[in-house]
Amino acid sequence: MGPPRHLGLLPDLGAELVEWPVPFSDGIALLKTYAGRRVVVLASGDPFWFGAGAVLARHFAPQEWRVYPGVSSFALAAARLGWSLEKTFCTGLHAAPYARLKSHLHSGARMLVTLRDGEAVGELATYLTKQGFGESNLTICEALGGPRERLSTQRANALQGAFGHPVLAAIEVAGQGTVIPLATGRADDIFASDGQITKRPVRALTLSALAPRPGERLWDIGGGSGSIGIEWLMCHPTLQAVAVEPRADRADRIAQNAASFGVDHLQVVTGKAPDVLDGLPLPDVVFIGGGLSEALLEWLWANLPAGTRLVANAVTLESEAVLAVAHAARGGDLLRIELAQSAPLGPRRGWKSAYPVVQWSVTL
């Protein structure tokens, strides 16, 4: 079993040849119909390096399969270009959005990315140009390791020609596009919003209080623009998040923001908490940025396991009162955040205070 291009490379074996269907997932059920027979599945290069191996291994018992890895396309590309793989960002974009690159784009970066087909090379070049990195050099690697192998280098904003599958692009990033900082508390203006956003300094303090750890899941209740959930996901690739937002227009904006940062796995739920929380995968951490109420806190205590961490921000007097009562009853830490920024005051400057934020951090 394998794609037509792989089967076409075989000599006359006298064996039954079965084309792997599209989409890839359909082939799993087909493969299972051959249970009890000796079957070879052909795939390119290293099957556990952005390949099919990990997918197949999830569907079959360890004693049912054996893997014979080849040289990965990343290793072949690095060998042609003389790049150090440990210093190069490698990822698969054959089934993922180009926005996965956004947080890694900066002048001088090197990337190796597998692509869906030849047409995707042009789409990648267009994406880089729109992000302000059109001066990047693309080395397009076609059919690496085979008799049709061809490498060609062009600038992203001047790309021409057609390219064949299988294809990988080596990117030497250059340009003056926006570079996403590594620290939490990114600039407010990189998020689309209607003004309902946890502002940068408070967001940095909030992410510090949430204290993400690898593998954890966040519930971001009252998502607004989605900035908390998005920055949470950007901290580590194993993190998960659910954003809960009662307004449909804001929920749509959260999804759009998440997609633009390449964290499209953010789950967005439209509705009011706690009404829509039943049935969601349980969180390790909960953030309440909007919709705080005694009823919500009672629901969380009644339905979430002990050890779940909770951080809640309050701006209004009414929500501050809710946190004061909850803190007195349940403990935790209460923090008052008061910030001021310089602003014109006649011919001079003065301090313009933002609304203070009261932050409650507690472990259930």
CATH code 3.40.50.300 for 73-172 = no
Rounded-to-integer distance, Cα 81 and Cα 114, Å? 15
What are the extents of the domains in the chain?
1-70, 73-172, 188-363
Q: Report residue 224: phi and psi, to 5°.
A: 65, -105
DSSP assignment of 23-90:
STTHHHHHHHTTTTS------SS-TTSSSSHHHHHHHS-GGG--------HHHHHHHHHT--GGGSEE
> What architecture is the 188-363 domain classified under in CATH?
3-Layer(aba) Sandwich (3.40)
pLDDT tens digits for range 66-121: 999 999 999 999 999 999 999 999 999 988 999 999 999 999 999 999 999 999 99
Query: Which residues have C-beta within 8 Å of that of residue 293, sequence separation ≥ 6?
Result: 322
Same fold for the pair 73-172 and 188-363:
no
263 within 8 A of 233, measured Cβ to Cβ? yes
Can you tell me the distance from the alpha carbon of 84 to that of 44, in angstroms, rounded to the nearest whole number?
22
β-strands 167-172, 110-115 pairing: antiparallel
Q: Are 212 and 362 in contact (CB under 8 A)?
A: no
Q: What is the DSSP letter of 4?
A: H
Per-residue pLDDT tens over the stretch 148-200: 999 999 999 999 999 998 899 999 999 999 999 999 999 999 999 998 899 99
Nearest-10 Cα torsion for 174, 180, 182, 188? 160
Q: Residue 292 pLDDT more than 90?
A: yes
Residues 300-357: tens digit of each pLDDT:
999 999 999 999 999 999 999 999 999 999 999 999 999 999 999 999 999 999 999 9
Match 């390449």 to its residue by tokens.
262
Q: 168 near 113, Cβ under 8 Å?
A: yes
- Supply the pTM of this predicted model: 0.89
Q: What is the pLDDT of residue 95?
A: 83
